[in-house]
Homo-oligomer: A and B are copies of this chain.
Amino acid sequence: MYINVPEVKVPRVVIIGCGFGGLELVKQLSKIEVQIVLIDKNNYHTFQPLLYQVSTAGLEADSIAYPIRKIFKGQKNFHFRMGEVQQLVSEENKLITSIGEIKYDYLIIATGSTTNYFGIKDFEEHAMPMKSVTEALDLRSLILQNFEKALLIKDLHEQEALMTFAVVGGGPTGVELAGALCELKKHVLPNDYPELDFRKMRVVLIENGGELLQAMNEINRKRANTYLDELGCEVWLNTGVAKYDGSVVEMKSGKQLLTSGLIWAAGIKAVLIDGLNKESINARGRIIIDDYCKVKSYENIFAIGDAACMVQEKFRNGHPQIAPVAIQQAQLVASNLKKSLKQCAPDKFSYFDKGTMATVGRNRAVVEVGNFTFGRFFGWLAWMGLHLMLLVGFRNRVVVFINWVWSYINYDRNIRLIIRPFKKGG
């Protein structure tokens, strides 16, 4: 059965995924004579950079998610269908999905990435991921549940495990999350649990490599270390994790840490689609695309963002898997599609690096734009301003802004709710 979408004479562009790439693509294609069908398993776009604030009770989930239909309200060539893609049948130019089949003239894969446990079963089973709204909400529940449990327990080891949070992975996500957990320890949770001794609460950031924020320059890497240190976070560098049973994590060195709350921020992997040719996927599991974002071995299939890998000078392993790359690739694909409809030659992709930033708790952030870096309070203001600007929807911006001002003045996080208790394996 085919998905119910109007039959029209213009080419149909099917886009899978409404992350930063998919979102930009639909916007850019709005004035082109094509029919756009966007498929996503959720009916909302997630502003992933703020997921860690949902996990740590700083923001409502609803203010960093935005209904897809609302974003493209009034865009006539646009059709959204909520469903999961199951199989690509490229010989017939069609996709099989959970809600039916659909034919395409052009297919654009913008499926993004998911948590990568690198095949380590222990962590897949017991660690908490944080790549989606529901995962972030589960993490929020788990953190609060652990403290509710810690209150009831007299066994000191068990209590220690419940009050220790280990974040694996020293990239921006790990650093931001660890900073936010330290803020919870410092300003929020001791008021909620006066019966617990918060000197016992530990936040440990575990990084396999020798430094945090490896994509940033040396000044900022050091700054991040200093900031985390000031916040009371233990940073364990050059430390690989080996085993985890849900309450004890063992390092490759044999060292152990008691923790019932281990968050995995150590890696991501491309979300692929069944039916893609093997030769189109590289050794690291990303979809191989050329300078035009065209997928290897296909003529009318493109891929952008985290799921894709374009090898260029300076980017021998592909571009970084971050939002600006996805957005710029979306812009390129849209503009090339426009050109091809006019029989013009397409442009090659060229990445414009706008810089990176990460926040480390209250009043502290590291920002890097070209050769220019700054930190502390100004970095933090820049971080806040940019993220407010990038959030979709004016209402969301206002609500997030109020939450931030509120938290800043009151040293507080308001959303300490266990709406759906987290249960392992369900």
Does B43 lie within 8 Å of A151, measured CB to CB?
no
Q: Is A313 an interface residue (CB 8 A)?
A: no
Contacts A74-B191, A81-B151, A403-B395 known; A69 to B416 CB distance under 8 Å?
A: yes
Interface-lining segment among A60-68, A359-367, A371-379: A60-68
In the complex, what distance in Å separates the CA atom of A151 from the CA atom of B414?
A: 38
In the complex, what distance in Å separates the CA atom of A151 from the CA atom of B3?
A: 9
Instruction: Among B6, B152, B393, B406, point to the contact of A3 (Cβ < 8 A).
Output: B152
Instruction: Among B44, B191, B402, point to the contact of A417 (Cβ < 8 A).
Output: B44
Does A192 lie within 8 Å of B67, measured CB to CB?
yes
Closest chain B CB from A36 CB (angstroms): 14
Contacts A4-B154, A70-B192, A100-B152 known; A44 to B418 CB distance under 8 Å?
A: yes
Does A69 lie within 8 Å of B193, measured CB to CB?
yes
Does A79 lie within 8 Å of B195, measured CB to CB?
yes
Interface residues of A in 33-47 (CB under 8 A from B): 42-44
- Taken together, the copies of this chain in the complex come to 2
| Cβ contacts A43-78/B at 8 Å (1 or 0 each) | 110000000000000001111010101100110000
Interface residues of A in 281-303 (CB under 8 A from B): none
In the complex, what distance in Å separates the CA atom of A67 from the CA atom of B416?
A: 6
Cβ contacts under 8 Å, A74 to chain B: 191
Please, which residue of chain B has its CB at the minimum distance from the CB of A407?
A: B395
Does B43 lie within 8 Å of A416, measured CB to CB?
yes
Q: Is A420 an interface residue (CB 8 A)?
A: yes
Cβ contacts under 8 Å, A44 to chain B: 417-419
Does A152 lie within 8 Å of B73, measured CB to CB?
no
In the complex, what distance in Å separates the CA atom of A153 from the CA atom of B414?
A: 42
Closest chain B CB from A87 CB (angstroms): 18
Q: How many residues of A contact B (CB 8 A)?
A: 49
Please, which residue of chain B has its CB at the minimum distance from the CB of A191?
A: B73
Closest chain B CB from A139 CB (angstroms): 14
Interface residues of A in 146-167 (CB under 8 A from B): 148, 151-154
Please, which residue of chain B has its CB at the minimum distance from the CB of A406?
A: B395
Q: Is A271 an interface residue (CB 8 A)?
A: no
In the complex, what distance in Å separates the CA atom of A137 from the CA atom of B44?
A: 15
Does B4 lie within 8 Å of A414, measured CB to CB?
no
Cβ contacts under 8 Å, A257 to chain B: none
Does B60 lie within 8 Å of A63, measured CB to CB?
yes
Q: Is A144 an interface residue (CB 8 A)?
A: yes
Cβ contacts under 8 Å, A69 to chain B: 191-193, 416
Cβ contacts under 8 Å, A153 to chain B: 4
Does A419 lie within 8 Å of B134, measured CB to CB?
yes
Q: Is A99 an interface residue (CB 8 A)?
A: yes
Does B420 lie within 8 Å of A420, measured CB to CB?
yes
Instruction: Among B73, B134, B393, B418, point to the contact of A82 (Cβ < 8 A).
Output: B418
Contacts A74-B191, A395-B406, A406-B395 known; A148 to B417 CB distance under 8 Å?
A: no
Does A402 lie within 8 Å of B395, measured CB to CB?
yes
Q: Is A398 an interface residue (CB 8 A)?
A: yes
The 7 A-B residue pairs with the shortest CB-CB distance in the complex, in nearest-first order: A69-B192, A67-B416, A60-B62, A60-B60, A82-B148, A43-B418, A44-B417
Identify 4 new A-B residue pairs, CB closer than 8 A, beyond the known A62-B419, A82-B418.
Answer: A44-B418, A69-B192, A79-B195, A81-B151
